[in-house]
Amino acid sequence: MSSRGIRDRVAIVGMGCTPFGEHWDKSADDLLIDAAYDASDSAGIDVRDLDAFWLGTYMSGVAGLSLSRPLRLTGKPVTRVENMCATGSEALRAACYAVACGAYDTAMAVGVEKLKDSGFSGLTRHSIPGDGIGGTLGTTTAPANFSLLGPAYAEKYGVAREQLKDVFTRIAWKNHRNGAVNPRAQFRKEVPMETIARSPLVAGDLGIFDCSGVSDGAAAAIVVRAEDAYRYTDKPLYVKAMSVVSGAADGSIDPGYDFTTFPEVVASAQEAYRQAGVTDPQREVGMAEVHDCFTVTELILMEDLGFAERGIAWKQVLDGAFDRDGRLPVNPDGGLKAFGHPVGASGLRMIFEAWLQLRGQAPDSRRITDPAGKLGLTHNLGGGPGECVSFVSLVGTELSG
């Protein structure tokens, strides 16, 4: 048995992404139509001529009908997929694998989420009849689950809690700074570090400004066989690797787990690097969009993805290594933090930023300096410490030799 991947077998030839934010005047249907037509327009193809569709949504619709109905697709295979906050990435993975295996010539992956209609703060859960005790995660909220990471990291690596709070603040400040120049981002203002540091606590050491934006939005990608790519664009984005790891959910029951890492992320990253033939991610990855649902998550991810050695990512964050003009730009579009996190759309939004940056289409005001020839990495996480699914993709503009 072996996971072989589909390196260079498919290409993304068109993408669309709505602005993320509070779309009080748009429904999930509206957002899906906007994103799907943006993507098809950019590929110069009619949506109805695509062969197959995968819709990712966490809780804004059920079944393929949630896409085929608003797009009025007739006679097409349309499937809804869900993998918590990695839902958008899962839609892309399905579309890519379907094309790679030869079942279809063209496919669309589209993700959408309409979170603001619930009226609640933060994410809500699906209501599955249960015994009322919330499984092994208990009844805590997502920020509380992720807030378990900080104290454990501080303890393990001898970082003062106050110093770690500065690291969180630096990450939020960077992502807000990136989002400030991105017209599609939910939050388009720089936020002073003092404001971030003093924001009211939500859970543990995490304040409001350590949490990603709750928003509405949609994003879409059109996938074709690599050899067909130039029929649609002169700048295709080749898929180098895609890896999903769903954990055994044993972090909350295994005393061996120490809350300073996501083993699922480590495994999915290593698998993706292997598929793409990447041996030195710090040199070969030119930009990364990672799942900064909370600032502490981005810190841990820098080590789990191999962007920094264990125990030192906090220093590199403070040194600016992951700033837009740093040695490895992370979340140059603002990330979940500033761009917003409409769950089912986020994985495809990450790919959208790689699409813009690696192909030189990001505007000068926010273009990263040297992505040429390097790969883009997207990392999408669902769940939390101890129980999660992790997705890692690598994309590039050149076929490997």
Q: Under the criterion CB under 8 A, does residue 198 sit at the interface with another protein?
A: no
Sole binder of another protein in the list 131, 194, 234, 364 (CB under 8 A): 131
Sole binder of another protein in the list 2, 3, 74, 139 (CB under 8 A): 139
User: Which residues are CB-neighbours of 400 under 8 A, at least 6 positions away?
Assistant: 7, 8, 240, 277
Q: Under the criterion CB under 8 A, does residue 122 sit at the interface with another protein?
A: yes
Q: Which of 217, 222, 215, 289 is nearest to 54 (CA)?
A: 222
375 near 240, Cβ under 8 Å? yes
295 near 331, Cβ under 8 Å? no
Dihedral sign computed on CA atoms, order 342, 345, 348, 354: negative
341 assigned to active site: yes
Q: Under the criterion CB under 8 A, does residue 300 sit at the interface with another protein?
A: no
Q: Under the criterion CB under 8 A, does residue 64 sit at the interface with another protein?
A: no
Nearer to another protein, 121 or 400 (CB): 121
Nearer to another protein, 1 or 128 (CB): 128
Q: Which string of x and - marks every residue 255-294 that binds another protein (by CB under 8 A)?
A: x-x-x-----------------------------------
Q: Under the criterion CB under 8 A, does residue 158 sit at the interface with another protein?
A: no
Sole binder of another protein in the list 30, 69, 144, 318 (CB under 8 A): 144
Q: How far apart are CA 339 and CA 346, in angstroms?
A: 9
User: Whole-number minimum distance, CB 209 to another protein, in Å?
Assistant: 14
Nearer to another protein, 202 or 287 (CB): 202
Sole binder of another protein in the list 60, 68, 106, 147 (CB under 8 A): 147
User: Whole-number minimum distance, CB 48 to another protein, in Å?
Assistant: 38
Q: Which of 85, 96, 211, 293 is catalytic?
A: 85
Q: Which string of x and - marks every residue 209-238 that binds another protein (by CB under 8 A)?
A: ------------------------------
Sole binder of another protein in the list 2, 127, 279, 365 (CB under 8 A): 127
- How many residues touch another protein under the rule CB under 8 A: the total is 42
Nearer to another protein, 263 or 371 (CB): 263
Q: Under the criterion CB under 8 A, does residue 124 sit at the interface with another protein?
A: yes
Interface with another protein by CB under 8 A: which residues? Answer: 118-122, 124-125, 127-134, 136-141, 143-144, 147-148, 151-152, 155, 200-204, 248, 250, 252-255, 257, 259, 386
Enumerate the active-site residues.
85, 341
